[in-house]
């Protein structure tokens, strides 16, 4: 079980969090023309990385904040955790 | 009754307390402190079971966790447990056990015919033989193999025992209480660290209990006892016996299984049987010791062949002689220690040493005691079927290839020692890159990935002085890092006998003309010949060889067999062991009961039960409950002997005719506040929200980004910047996370706050033609007329002094209202509604009637909004705004989503107007079509329409828009029925929606 440092609450066990996928995906702006390909990339296409991955977690059973976690997908090492509005 | 193999004084058992037990129906006795294994051996019982494949007789091989075959079916307090290791099971009064894997009895076993057929049962036999014909597999081969194979039998009874989980944090977790565990725990504890010391056996001390050493002028055993006593007194130390650390997971999370009651005849009241500990440790010290490695020779699985360390443990801990004419077969000095113990207790051992001219203090001691030693000698084969009665021995050439003349030697047990294998399982599980140590011919931990340190024998250090020094240092250094304290304890003086190197020899060659089975894996019956076949057939990767031969795959997970298997593959391939590599070590290190893993989360505790504040009223009024998501809801209120069908029909009918009341507390509720609240709703819902006036509610549908409907519900504007959103019961939590996601990550510029208020409000839906009259009587001070409170209107009022929110919304298709009060007043509200509603013939209705009402009016719900449908499919295309963007809108123009013959919700009525349609059935055009019959759609929800008094269903049907009026068939292969049906509009009742607006 991972040990994740919530930037708001401190070290907590993984079972307080839920996983939210790739944190580098940006939602296209509302009311903006976008090609089918770009839209499909946003909705469906994700890389399955081995190594460093910036991902979203929500501290569901804690402060309910969405946070960013930089984690190695192979070793599970967590390098850094950030608040939702912070960037690496 | 006497015990022929029990010594009079030696051992740590309590001879004052006799315990009686039964094995295979026969009565025996042992003493308090015995294991089942030691008690059986004391009684001279060596035959325990039959092996997995050949059904060869099996006895005891080890004395602890490494035991490969002395497993039994255990009976305790009217319960039974399979595959219990006799070497770990402590004896208790009244214990009963039987052999596994033998029929009809351990002494006469029909399956043993396999032993005679062994030439036909080589590695991969099952894979090769039982392939053809294919149809035979399920009917003939598999049942046969299952009956013949298999170990113990799992109980099918409900397990009444209690199991617990515990979460713990500490500075240092130390696995194993041998010399290194004790020393490191002591050094760390004295330096102020929070320490947990775990020992899998009942007694602390590990090898100190059996070895002849001296620490600080005390015997090893005395030293261990004193250290443990001192540790137990320290407030920063937790000491646990009968506790196996079996798994090392990410981020220094280790899991430990504590057996609290397994050694007792019956679990004490209020005690758990076992407890699972999840321990997050800053540092983990692995002092799990080592396991003696077997030597491989002919018939080395015969009962009476066992590890020499086990023989020593039975003698020194339990006062049991495993034989009276022991043969010690060794490639190192450890065998001598066992021989010396036998000799000291009046038994004459003979030592066969594979080495030519070894010299050490301990060999000298054996010589001085007059023990007979044969150097450059090997055991070629054990003799005897159910018990060793002799051994075939021979001199072996210096290059270990050639055997001399075979000689017979009488003996009743063969104690083998092939040097030591460090127990690196936990280190390997932690991600440690293990390395091969040529000095000791075994893998040892290498570079750590997590905060893990391996000490002592587990780290390949086999002298006590070195082990203690390393461990005192590690305990001190690691604790210093954590506590910043600097209290160092001094090393004690250690006296031990020096030893010399072992012989790099494990597998005795076969003599000419003999084809003895030489076993590597005793539980899975994997022999040297099986490895040879696997290699001959082209298997190279050790992982493949393992799976093809099943080497190391039995319940003991190859604790005694893996390294010999690797050595053999290396020798045959002319490689060195590190090139072959070892198979992956995975948790658990020892079997863990399902009960311990599940813990208290069983039965109704498997998840929390959420109850509405009105629940007590429901209970008192004969509600039959149903699990609705995480909630417990009334399904119907039973009157007399009513069935669900009758009761729900009555309740639904009463809504259509008079008025009904339904507990809708479980609906998800989200409070939304802030100047940008309307903008958020406008982006989240598919329809327009910017112009909703205060005091009005609106129905909304929300999508996922992929265009699939996520949820629906009504949202009401309470005041300028304050909205009250409702969600379906099932999606409440997901919708909140969804909103939080967009507010925190995507549109942080929106000034809005959301919070769940599901549990803050109790809700009652009042539905039916008489609901307005009832509402007016409940709230005399409001204007309940159609003008005063129109459809989708909202008012606040006082319900006999209690503040209430009144929404004119309808799920049933009738004129209806929803009243919300603070949860604490829920019961009061409900009682008032029932009391005032009496004159309008009010009846409460449950979820079944609720479904009936919504289905027959064609209101889509969870069974249509099932995560696979878009708005169009649900007839909600009118809800989509063309003038604004919203979550998921861009996905709706996908080709499949706008296809002409896109699926759509329809109504389905059986032609006979009688046959109920099972939910989940398929809709097809032609019942006689060739299989697979093209499926046009599926039944999503079914009810008995109270309005029309016939069955009615909703279906999602391909080209549903153009199918109204067509005749199709409903097929349910599951129930084996076919029903001719007509497709009708999904709005079966009040298609124009006049009632809700009346």
Inside any domain, residue A88 = no
Place of tokens 């948790």: B587
As separate numbers, helices (DSSP H) first and strands (DSSP E) second, chain A gives 1, 6
Instruction: Tell me which of A58-67, B117-126, B586-595 is least confident.
Output: B117-126
- Which of B167, B251, B704 to mutate to probe the A interface, most A CBs <10 Å? B251
On the question of a common fold for B163-290+422-495 and B294-418, the answer reads yes
**In chain A, which among 1-30 make CB contacts under 8 A with chain B?**
1-3, 13, 18, 20, 27-28, 30
Whether B840 has its CB under 8 Å from any CB of chain A: the answer is no
The DSSP call for residue B510 is P
Chain centroid to CA B342: 44
Whether B744 has its CB under 8 Å from any CB of chain A: the answer is yes
> Strand ranges (DSSP E) for B207-269?
214-215, 218-219, 237-240, 243-249, 253-259
- Residue with the larger pLDDT of the pair B974 and B382: B382
What is the rounded CA–CA span in Å between residue B943 and residue B84? 52
pLDDT at B243: 98
Residue B142 CB neighbour total at 10 angstroms: 13
pLDDT digits 0-9 by tens, B950-964: 999 999 999 999 999
Contact B740 A64 (CB under 8 A): yes
The DSSP call for residue B487 is -
Distance between start and end Cα atoms, chain A: 24
Q: What phi and psi, each to the nearest 5 degrees, are found at residue B5?
A: -110, 15
Instruction: List CB contacts (< 8 A) between A64 and chain B.
Output: 740
Q: Does the pLDDT of residue B838 top 60, yes or no?
A: yes
Whether B169 has its CB under 8 Å from any CB of chain A: the answer is no
Contact A1 B737 (CB under 8 A): no
pLDDT digits 0-9 by tens, B334-354: 999 999 999 999 999 999 999
Q: What is the mean pLDDT of residues B624-628?
A: 94
pLDDT at B134: 58
Task: For B882, name the nearest residue in chain A, comparing CA atoms only.
Answer: A31
- CATH architecture of the region B294-418: 3-Layer(bba) Sandwich (3.50)
Inside any domain, residue A54 = yes
pLDDT digits 0-9 by tens, B36-89: 999 999 999 999 988 777 778 889 999 999 998 899 999 999 999 988 999 999
Give CATH superfamily name and number for B669-757.
Aminomethyltransferase beta-barrel domains (3.30.70.1400)
What is the rounded CA–CA span in Å between residue B692 and residue B683? 14
Contact A28 B890 (CB under 8 A): yes
- Residue with the larger pLDDT of the pair B586 and B314: B314
What is the rounded CA–CA span in Å between residue B392 and residue B410? 9
Q: What is the mean pLDDT of residues B163-180?
A: 97
What is the rounded CA–CA span in Å between residue B625 and residue B627? 7
Whether B896 has its CB under 8 Å from any CB of chain A: the answer is no
Q: Does the pLDDT of residue B974 top 70, yes or no?
A: yes
* H-assigned helices in B431-584: 464-483, 528-536, 542-549, 562-573, 577-580
- CATH architecture of the region B1-158: Roll (3.10)
Task: For B885, name the nearest residue in chain A, comparing CA atoms only.
Answer: A31
Q: Does the pLDDT of residue B767 top 90, yes or no?
A: yes
- Which of A6, A45, A66, A85 to mutate to probe the B interface, most B CBs <10 Å? A66
Q: Does the pLDDT of residue B102 top 80, yes or no?
A: no
pLDDT at B104: 56
Instruction: List CB contacts (< 8 A) between A59 and chain B.
Output: none
Closest CA–CA distance from residue B898 to any residue of chain A (Å): 15
Whether A87 has its CB under 8 Å from any CB of chain B: the answer is no
Task: For A13, name the nearest residue in chain B, comparing CA atoms only.
Answer: B280
For residue B900, cis peptide bond before it (omega within 30 degrees of 0): no
Q: Buried (b) or exposed (e) across B925-942, using 16+ Cβ within 10 A?
A: eeeeeeeebeebbebbbb
- Which of A2, A84, A85 to mutate to probe the B interface, most B CBs <10 Å? A84
Mean per-residue pLDDT of chain B: 93
Contact B744 A3 (CB under 8 A): no
Question: How many domains are contained in chain A?
Answer: 1
Residue B545 CB neighbour total at 10 angstroms: 24
pLDDT at B154: 83
Inside any domain, residue A19 = yes
Q: Does the pLDDT of residue B583 top 80, yes or no?
A: no
Instruction: List CB contacts (< 8 A) between A76 and chain B.
Output: 250-251
Task: For B888, name the nearest residue in chain A, comparing CA atoms only.
Answer: A43
pLDDT at B123: 62
Candidates B680, B677, B673; CA nearest to B747 is B680
pLDDT digits 0-9 by tens, B386-416: 999 999 999 999 999 999 999 999 999 999 9
Determine which helix (DSSP H) or strand (DSSP E) holds B853, and give its type and residue range.
helix B847-856
- How many percent of chain B have pLDDT more than 90? 83
Rg of chain B over all Cα atoms, to the nearest angstrom: 38
The closest CB to that of B250, out of A65, A76, A85, belongs to A76
The DSSP call for residue B935 is P
Instruction: Tell me which of B144-148, B187-191, B883-887 is least confident.
Output: B144-148
The closest CB to that of A75, out of B278, B449, B740, belongs to B449
Size of interface A-B (CB pairs under 8 A): 54
Q: What is the mean pLDDT of residues B239-265?
A: 97
Task: For B893, name the nearest residue in chain A, comparing CA atoms only.
Answer: A36
**In chain B, which among 447-476 make CB contacts under 8 A with chain A?**
449
Determine which helix (DSSP H) or strand (DSSP E) holds B31, and give its type and residue range.
strand B26-32
Beta strands across the sheet bearing B697-703: B697-703, B709-719, B722-727, B668-673, B753-756
- CATH architecture of the region B857-881+897-984: Beta Barrel (2.40)
Instruction: List CB contacts (< 8 A) between B253 and chain A.
Output: 1, 3
Contact A66 B252 (CB under 8 A): no
**Tokens of residue B840, six digits:** 């309008």
Return the CATH class of domain B624-666+759-845.
alpha beta
Inside any domain, residue A58 = yes
pLDDT at B582: 76
DSSP letter for each residue of B308-321: HHHHHHHHHHH-B-
The closest CB to that of A1, out of B250, B744, B748, belongs to B250
Whether A35 has its CB under 8 Å from any CB of chain B: the answer is no
Contact B744 A84 (CB under 8 A): yes
Q: Does the pLDDT of residue B609 top 50, yes or no?
A: yes
What is the rounded CA–CA span in Å between residue B395 and residue B403? 6
Task: For A31, name the nearest residue in chain B, comparing CA atoms only.
Answer: B885
**Tokens of residue B89, six digits:** 């099971």
CATH 3.40.640.10 fits B163-290+422-495, yes or no: no
Q: What is the CATH number of the domain that holds A67?
A: 3.30.2270.10
Question: Predicted ipTM?
Answer: 0.98
Chain centroid to CA B3: 42
- Residue with the larger pLDDT of the pair B584 and B474: B474
Contact A39 B737 (CB under 8 A): no
Q: Does the pLDDT of residue B148 top 80, yes or no?
A: no
CB B358 within 8 A of CB B375: yes
pLDDT digits 0-9 by tens, B1-28: 478 999 999 999 999 999 999 999 999 9
Q: Which domain holds residue A50?
A: 3-25+39-83
Q: What is the mean pLDDT of residues A35-39?
A: 96
Contacts of B889-894 with C-beta under 8 Å, sequence gap 24+, read: B889/B686, B889/B703, B889/B707, B890/A28, B890/A34, B890/A39, B891/A39, B891/A43, B891/B703, B891/B705, B891/B706, B891/B707, B892/B703, B892/B707, B894/B707
Whether A82 has its CB under 8 Å from any CB of chain B: the answer is no
Chain centroid to CA B43: 38
Candidates B508, B495, B525, B88; CA nearest to B310 is B88
Residue spans of the domains in chain B: they are: 1-158, 163-290+422-495, 294-418, 624-666+759-845, 669-757, 857-881+897-984
For residue B204, cis peptide bond before it (omega within 30 degrees of 0): no
Candidates B93, B129, B715, B176; CA nearest to B424 is B176
Closest CA–CA distance from residue B894 to any residue of chain A (Å): 9
As separate numbers, helices (DSSP H) first and strands (DSSP E) second, chain B gives 24, 51
pLDDT digits 0-9 by tens, B196-237: 999 999 999 999 999 999 999 999 999 999 999 999 999 999
Inside any domain, residue A34 = no
Q: Does the pLDDT of residue B35 top 90, yes or no?
A: yes
Distance between start and end Cα atoms, chain B: 94
Q: Which residues contact B962 (CB under 8 A, 6 or more apart)?
A: B901
């Amino acid at each position: 079980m991972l040990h994740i440092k919530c930037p708001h609450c401190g070290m907590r066990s993984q079972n307080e969090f839920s996983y939210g996928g790739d944190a580098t995906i940006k939602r296209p702006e509302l009311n903006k023309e976008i090609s089918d390909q770009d839209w499909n990339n946003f909705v469906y296409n994700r890389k399955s990385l081995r190594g460093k991955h910036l991902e979203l977690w929500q501290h569901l059973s804690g402060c309910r904040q969405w946070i960013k976690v930089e984690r190695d997908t192979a070793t599970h090492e967590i390098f850094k955790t950030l608040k939702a509005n912070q960037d690496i | 009754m006497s015990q022929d193999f029990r010594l009079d004084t030696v051992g740590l058992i309590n001879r004052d307390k006799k315990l009686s037990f039964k094995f295979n129906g026969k009565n025996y006795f042992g003493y308090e402190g015995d294991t089942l294994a030691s008690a059986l051996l004391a009684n001279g019982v060596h035959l325990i079971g039959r092996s997995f494949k050949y059904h060869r007789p099996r006895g005891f091989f080890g004395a602890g966790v490494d035991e490969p075959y002395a497993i039994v079916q255990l009976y305790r307090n009217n319960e039974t447990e399979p595959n219990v290791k006799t070497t770990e099971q402590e004896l208790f009064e009244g214990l009963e056990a039987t052999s596994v894997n033998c029929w009809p009895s351990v002494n006469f076993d029909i399956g043993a015919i396999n032993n005679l057929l062994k030439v036909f049962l080589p590695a991969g036999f099952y894979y090769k033989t039982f392939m053809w014909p294919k149809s035979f597999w399920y009917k003939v081969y598999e049942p046969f193999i299952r009956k013949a194979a298999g170990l113990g039998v799992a109980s099918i009874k409900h397990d009444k025992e209690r199991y617990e989980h515990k979460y713990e944090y500490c500075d240092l977790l130390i696995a194993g209480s041998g010399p290194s565990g004790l020393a490191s725990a002591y050094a760390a504890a004295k330096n102020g660290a929070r320490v947990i010391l775990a020992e899998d056996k009942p007694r602390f001390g590990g090898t100190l209990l059996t070895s002849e050493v001296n620490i600080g002028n005390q015997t090893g055993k005395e030293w261990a006892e004193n250290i443990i006593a001192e540790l137990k007194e320290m407030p920063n130390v937790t000491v646990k016996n009968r506790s196996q650390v079996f798994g090392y997971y990410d981020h220094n999370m280790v899991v430990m299984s504590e057996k609290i009651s397994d050694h007792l005849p019956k679990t004490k009241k209020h005690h758990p049987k076992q407890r699972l500990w999840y321990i997050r440790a800053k540092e983990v010290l692995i002092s799990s010791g080592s396991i003696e490695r077997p030597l491989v020779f002919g018939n080395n699985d015969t009962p009476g062949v066992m590890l020499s360390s086990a023989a020593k443990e039975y003698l020194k801990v339990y006062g049991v002689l495993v034989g009276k004419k022991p043969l010690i077969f060794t490639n190192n000095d450890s065998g001598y220690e066992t021989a010396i113990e036998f000799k000291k207790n009046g038994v004459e051992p003979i030592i066969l040493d594979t080495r030519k001219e070894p010299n050490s203090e301990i060999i000298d001691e054996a010589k001085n005691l007059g023990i007979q030693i044969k150097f450059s000698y090997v055991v070629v084969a054990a003799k005897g079927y159910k018990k060793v009665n002799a051994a075939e021995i021979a001199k072996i050439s210096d290059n270990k290839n050639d055997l001399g003349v075979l000689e017979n030697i009488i003996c009743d047990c063969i104690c083998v020692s092939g040097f030591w294998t460090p127990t690196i399982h936990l280190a390997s599980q932690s991600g440690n890159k293990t390395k091969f140590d040529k000095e000791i011919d075994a893998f040892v931990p290498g570079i750590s990935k997590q905060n893990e340190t391996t000490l002592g024998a587990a780290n390949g250090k086999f002298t006590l002085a070195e082990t203690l020094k390393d461990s005192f240092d590690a305990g001190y250094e690691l604790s210093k890092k954590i506590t910043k304290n600097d209290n160092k304890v001094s090393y004690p003086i250690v006296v031990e006998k020096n030893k010399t190197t072992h012989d790099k020899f494990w597998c005795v060659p076969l003599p000419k003309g003999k084809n003895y089975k030489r076993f590597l894996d005793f539980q899975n019956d994997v022999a040297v010949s099986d490895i040879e076949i696997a290699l001959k057939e082209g298997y190279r990767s050790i992982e493949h060889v393992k799976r093809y031969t099943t080497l190391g795959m039995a319940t003991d997970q190859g604790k005694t067999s893996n390294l010999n298997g690797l050595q053999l593959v290396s020798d045959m391939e002319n490689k060195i062991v590190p090139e072959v590599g070892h198979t992956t070590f995975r948790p658990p290190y020892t079997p863990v009961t399902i009960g311990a893993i599940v813990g208290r989360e069983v039965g109704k505790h498997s998840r929390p039960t959420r109850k509405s504040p009105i629940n007590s009223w429901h209970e008192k009024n004969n509600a039959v409950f149903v699990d609705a998501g995480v909630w417990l809801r009334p399904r119907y209120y039973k009157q007399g002997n009513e069935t669900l069908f009758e009761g729900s029909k009555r309740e639904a009918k009463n809504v259509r005719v008079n008025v009904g009341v339904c507990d809708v507390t479980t609906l998800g509720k989200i409070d939304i506040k802030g100047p940008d609240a309307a903008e958020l709703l406008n982006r989240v819902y598919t329809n327009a929200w910017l112009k909703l006036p205060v005091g009005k509610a609106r129905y909304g549908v929300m999508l996922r980004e992929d265009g699939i409907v996520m949820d629906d519900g009504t949202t009401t504007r309470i005041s300028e910047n304050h909205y009250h959103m409702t969600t379906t019961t099932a999606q409440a939590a997901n919708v909140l996370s969804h909103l939080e996601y967009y507010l925190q990550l995507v549109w942080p510029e929106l000034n809005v706050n959301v919070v769940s208020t599901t549990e803050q409000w109790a809700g009652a839906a009042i539905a039916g033609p008489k609901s307005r009259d009832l509402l007016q009587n409940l709230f005399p001070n409001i204007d309940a007329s159609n003008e005063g409170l129109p459809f989708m209107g909202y008012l606040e009022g006082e319900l006999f002094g209690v503040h209430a929110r009144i929404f004119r919304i309808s799920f049933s298709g009738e004129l209806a209202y929803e009243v919300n009060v603070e949860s604490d007043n829920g019961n009061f509200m409900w009682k008032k509604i029932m009391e005032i509603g009496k004159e309008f013939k009010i009846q409460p209705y449950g979820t079944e009637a609720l479904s009936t009402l919504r289905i027959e009016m064609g209101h889509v719900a969870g069974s249509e909004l099932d995560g696979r449908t878009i708005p169009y499919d649900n007839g909600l295309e009118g809800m989509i705004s063309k003038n604004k963007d919203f979550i998921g809108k861009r996905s709706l123009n996908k080709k499949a989503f706008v296809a002409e013959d896109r699926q759509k919700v329809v109504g389905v009525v059986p032609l006979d107007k009688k046959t109920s349609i099972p939910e989940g059935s398929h809709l097809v055009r032609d019942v006689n079509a060739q299989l697979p019959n093209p499926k046009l759609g599926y039944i999503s929800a079914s009810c008995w329409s109270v309005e029309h008094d016939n069955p009615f269903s909703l279906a999602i049907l391909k080209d549903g828009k153009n199918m109204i009026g067509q005749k199709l068939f409903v097929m349910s292969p599951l129930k084996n029925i076919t029903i001719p049906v007509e497709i009708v509009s999904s709005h079966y009742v009040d298609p124009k929606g006049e009632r809700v607006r009346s």
